[in-house]
Structure 1
Amino acid sequence: MNNILHIDCDAFYASCEEVRYPKLKNHPMAVGGLSNKSIITTANYKAREYGIHSAMPVFIAKKLCPNLVIVGVDKKYYKEKSIEVFDIIEKYAKIKEQVSIDEAYLLVEDKENRINKAKRIQKEVMEKTGIGVSIGISYNKFLAKISSDWNKPLGIKEINSSDIPHILKDLDISKVHGLGRKSTKKLRNIGIHKIEDLLSLDEEFLKNLFGKQGSYVYHVIRGEDNRKVEISSKRKSIGREFTFKENTLDLRILHSYIDEIAKILESDMNDRDIKAYTLNLKIKTEYFKTHTRSHTQEVPIYKKEDIASISKDLLEKLISNEKFRLLGISLSNLSKNNHTQLSLFD
């Protein structure tokens, strides 16, 4: 049964920057070091049309595309966007294993059509975060991961047991999980370039070449992978933030954003059956200065009116002469919501 989904964000760092600076969507853009001696971390899909890819030196990328826009790496921002994305995805399965900042496995056990579920995930993530994801569906982790890379961006691909091994034969060996750069170089040196070539090698040969990893490779390319989807470590916080189209100090606008975030957070917390003792408000000014305020309750909260009320009180302490360009709310000190909670206003 195809009950494993692999979710992979499309050109994640670059997509985050396009959310922050929408005009970048119309230009070839890459995230990486700003000096010519640096390397590219991620390129958006317009830049990839010029042959630009991750790990490419910046000076080569600029030769391929003289009008390339390069944005410096902002890992804190990318982590915040990652939390946004995977907080949404988490609702779609009881077991989620996040394996990096931009990818995760889901173990789904309901009867919903897997393609339909993937489409719903894609739609909700895009609408709420602006980030595109590709989704692979299969009966094991190896094949689900290969599927998610099949037709990026915004791809959905399902691989069934009946598709193996012929569907994999034309894929490059670099697609095989467990084969790094050194391993693929070894194989290319002996004329092995595609999975079809790899299938011709016996298990003992691969074990002699790569040790225990060789045995793993032998089996996964034949559709055999017994690794389980494991539950990720407990989430320490849950939050949302918005970057405004225009910088503002208008309290009506700021309060409307707080109300919208509070509504989203209430829904997210109900889906996860959790409550929170601490609320954190974050703003970023037009001059990119970040300020935060927090408030811890004796009574935990999860209702939107409580989240909004506390956030608006904290906002008053952050008002200055500088306009705001971003506002975010996060909730921490989380616990299971195992009893009925009255609103602060009840």
Structure 2
Amino acid sequence: MIYRKVALVDMDSYFASVEGVKNPILKRRPLAVVGGGKNPIVLSANYLAKIHGVKTGMIYSEAKKLCKNILFVKADYPQYEFTTLKLLEIIENFFPVYKEASIDEVYIAVDVFEDGVEKLKILKDEIKLRLGLSCTIGVGPNPVIAKSACEIAKPDGFLVVDDLNEFAKQLPIKDIPGVGKKSQKVFKEIGIETLEDFLKNGGISEKLRELVLKEYTEPEFFKHVPPKSIGHSLSLDKEIKSFEELYAVFNYLLFGIYSKLIRGRYGAKNVALYIKDRFGAFSLSHNLAVHTNDFFLLSKVVEDIAKKLYRNYPISKIGISLNNLKIIDSVQCSLFWEEYQRKYEKLAAVGNGLNNTFLSGYFILKSKKII
């Protein structure tokens, strides 16, 4: 089947919005989710922060200058990963053909159903009802136009592009995927400010022109191609000083990347761990007999590797990756979701209020505070 209409579901200020669902107090304040390190970078900002000029990629000190009362929360990647798994479970109830473009973006083949656009509207409401999160949906004849429609409609919008020529008149060239700051400058110098201007000028970026004018979405676009590996590392705000703590935090990180494993229906054949203590960085991996997505087996392997790595010295950074991935048919996660999901979601939601310590992800991060 050839898909002639595609939608992009783009979650609004995803990381910041998830934090707002975990702690509703945060919804009423300008908020930015930041990464680790001495000069954390803004990974996501809510719209109360964005109206002050706070943007993704900005150093947190710059964000603070723009918005004096902004709150900063350290990113909780495992929480975001299994929230995305819930999102895909909802999407699967409506549309059988989709592709996860990133942790907060999903492309959908709309014309699998005659009433596909109406089903998208219901899907949008369902996401809000079940997850408490808003999203923007753009619909077009191909992924480029669908994403461009999302940029125009944000936040919490819904835009269907039926007439490409009419849409081209109102679409700024900067909102076309693949057009960076340098390209914008070049286009501006030659008088190209909208998509319509771009399409009228022949010979300029034929590759981009082809993507924009493509009248259908190839079925190949929706094929799941597994990455070579998935993983996550964590710089700790408080050093780990016991094996029990080390294994608990490793298991929490495993929970997050396991969610991504299940989303892609992948199995892993290799597990690798990394730690950093006062004497340096050390890593160790283990090859499995077969590809698997059995959480309990992977957790046991993590425990065995961690025992070999741990040397009774305080640990400041850890990392975990699942490698040698391939798509497999079976998903062994029923017991995992009934027990472990409740456990880890409770840990992720624990907090002592804004004036004290706010927990993001796990108790080992207790020293981290909202600024």
- Shorter-chain TM band: 0.5 to 0.7
* Aligned mates of 1:95, 1:289 — CA distance in 2: 29
Whether 2:173 is the aligned partner of 1:173: answer yes
| Structure 1 match to 2:265 | 234
1:218 corresponds to which of 209, 216, 231: 209
TM-score (norm 1): 0.61
| Structure 2 match to 1:164 | 164
Contact 1:32–1:40 (CA<8 Å) still a contact in 2?
yes
Q: Structure 1 residue 58: deviation in Å?
A: 1.9
Query: Structure 1 220/165 Cα, relative in aligned 2: closer, same or farther at 3 Å?
Result: farther
Q: Structure 1 residue 217: deviation in Å?
A: 1.1
Deviations 1:35-75 (A, max 9, x none): 78332111111111112111222222212210001111121
* Aligned mates of 2:10, 2:333 — CA distance in 1: 32
Q: Structure 1 residue 129: deviation in Å?
A: 1.5
* Aligned mates of 1:277, 1:114 — CA distance in 2: 30
Deviations 1:241-280 (A, max 9, x none): xxxxxxxxxxxxxxxxxxxxxxxxxxxxxxxx98747522
Contact 1:6–1:137 (CA<8 Å) still a contact in 2?
yes
Secondary structure of the equivalent of 2:145? helix
Contact 2:141–2:215 (CA<8 Å) still a contact in 1?
no
Q: Structure 1 residue 11: deviation in Å?
A: 0.9
Secondary structure of the equivalent of 1:279? helix
Deviations 1:172-202 (A, max 9, x none): 2222123234433443454533323322321
Q: How much is the aligned-residue C-alpha RMSD, in angstroms?
A: 3.5
| Structure 2 match to 1:279 | 335
Counterparts of residues 1-346 of structure 1 (less than 5 Å): 3-33=5-35, 37-160=39-162, 163-203=163-203, 214-222=205-213, 224=215, 226-227=217-218, 228-231=221-224, 233-234=264-265, 276=332, 279-280=335-336, 325=350
5+ residue gaps, structure 2, are 226-263, 268-292, 296-328, 352-371
* Counterpart residue identity of residue 67, structure 2: C
* Aligned mates of 1:156, 1:278 — CA distance in 2: 34
* Aligned mates of 1:190, 1:32 — CA distance in 2: 38
Higher relative contact order (CA 8 A, sep 6+): 2
* Counterpart residue identity of residue 76, structure 2: D
Query: Structure 1 190/139 Cα, relative in aligned 2: closer, same or farther at 3 Å?
Result: closer
Query: Structure 1 171/46 Cα, relative in aligned 2: closer, same or farther at 3 Å?
Result: same
Q: Greater shift after overlay, 93-102 or 143-152?
A: 143-152
Query: Structure 1 283/62 Cα, relative in aligned 2: closer, same or farther at 3 Å?
Result: farther
* Alignment coverage as a number of residue pairs: 248
Contact 1:7–1:134 (CA<8 Å) still a contact in 2?
yes
* Counterpart residue identity of residue 279, structure 1: L
Query: Structure 1 15/143 Cα, relative in aligned 2: closer, same or farther at 3 Å?
Result: same
* Counterpart residue identity of residue 164, structure 2: I
* Aligned mates of 2:294, 2:172 — CA distance in 1: 39
Query: Structure 1 218/31 Cα, relative in aligned 2: closer, same or farther at 3 Å?
Result: same
Query: Structure 1 169/234 Cα, relative in aligned 2: closer, same or farther at 3 Å?
Result: same
* Aligned mates of 1:325, 1:71 — CA distance in 2: 14
